Amino acid sequence: MSQSLEQLGEAIAARFAEKVSRAASRCGELTFEVDGAALLEVCGALRDEPAFRFEQLIDVAGVDYLTHGAGEWTTESATSSGFSRGRTGAEGAAASAGDPQAADPRRFAVVYHLLSVTHNRRVRLRAWCEPGEPPMIDSAVDVWSSANWFEREAFDLYGIVFRGHPDLRRILTDYGFVGHPFRKDFPLAGNVEVRYDPAKGRVIYQPVSIEPRTLVPRVIRDDNRYAAALKDPPRHG
């Protein structure tokens, strides 16, 4: 990380004291966790104070940490269950009921990507949603108007409710859609399907009729394309 970003990180940590904490970043981006109760206060100060001047909100993204870190790839044998995101309805419910993290109040988070045009710097904030269903957090629309559609997207795909949003409704899925498709326990085939009913002369919703199946199992191939010990020796001359 550059010296400029390190100095910015120290300035943010000093300015907001116990309201923020530095988070590790694998990609070298300056990242802070923000207390949900102080989110709007911190965002407003980052936007307005001359030392920061983060005038632009580049993106807002929801995150579901259900089963975070518990992947299916720590195995040397093939798996018939597919990826962890490929849940059927029954498997998704079992994952939520049986996984200890499902009861963790810190399951859903919202991530904010900020840009300072004045200082040509970026910072990323992460705030955890309030526990319970639906997960809730304050809307940042009054700080950055560009948060409007981003927050609607996170509401649509994750079911995160942004308190104070002026028009919180679905933006990508249809009005009759059931569930939130980016949640880790959402069934791979969904909950309903759509078809045109010629008798009624309109589109109707009905239970899913397709049979969910795993299409991308993991397969271990121990041949000379993958195992170094089985590769042909290099040819010289």
Q: Which of 80-94, 185-199, 210-224 has the highest mean pLDDT?
A: 185-199
**Is residue 213 domain-resident?**
no
pLDDT > 90? residue 39: yes
In the Cβ-directed half-sphere of 12, how many Cα atoms lie within 13 Å? 31
Beta-strand relationship, 56-64 and 108-116: antiparallel
Stretch 206-235: mean pLDDT, rounded?
A: 68
Query: Which residues does 81 contact at the CB level (< 8 Å), separation at least 6?
Result: 72, 91, 214
CATH number for the domain spanning 59: value is: 3.30.460.80
pLDDT of the residue at 137: 96
Report the chain's mean pLDDT, rounded to a whole number. 83
pLDDT 10s digits, 97-107: 545 444 567 89
pLDDT 10s digits, 110-122: 999 999 999 999 9
With 0.85 as the threshold, say if the pTM is over it: no
Residues in the chain: 237
Amino acid sitting at position 109: A
At 157, the pLDDT band (50, 70, 90 cuts) reads very high
**Is residue 147 domain-resident?**
yes
Least trusted range by pLDDT, from 15-29, 43-57, 71-85, 199-213? 71-85
pLDDT of the residue at 221: 63
How far is 175 from 167, CA to CA, in rounded Å? Answer: 14
pLDDT > 80? residue 84: no
**Is residue 219 domain-resident?**
no
pLDDT of the residue at 191: 83
Number of domains in the chain: 1
**Is residue 225 domain-resident?**
no
At 28, the pLDDT band (50, 70, 90 cuts) reads confident
**Is residue 84 domain-resident?**
yes
3-state secondary structure string, the chain?
Answer: CCHHHHHHHHHHHHHHHHHEEEECCCCCCCEEEECHHHHHHHHHHHHHCCCCCCCEEEEEEEEECCCCCCCCCCCCCCECCCCCCCCCHHHHHHHHHHCHHHHCCCCEEEEEEEEECCCCEEEEEEEECECCCCCEEECCCCCCCCHHHHHHHHHHHHCCEEECCCCCCCCCCCCCCCCCCCCCCCCCCCCEEEEEECCCCEEEEEECCCCCCCCCCECCCCCCCCCHHHCCCCCCC
Least trusted range by pLDDT, from 15-24, 97-106, 153-162, 181-190? 97-106
Closest CA to 108 of 140, 131, 142: 131
Least trusted range by pLDDT, from 56-70, 146-160, 174-188? 174-188
Domain coverage including residue 148: 3-207
**Is residue 216 domain-resident?**
no
pLDDT > 90? residue 153: yes
pLDDT > 90? residue 89: no
**Is residue 21 domain-resident?**
yes
**Is residue 158 domain-resident?**
yes
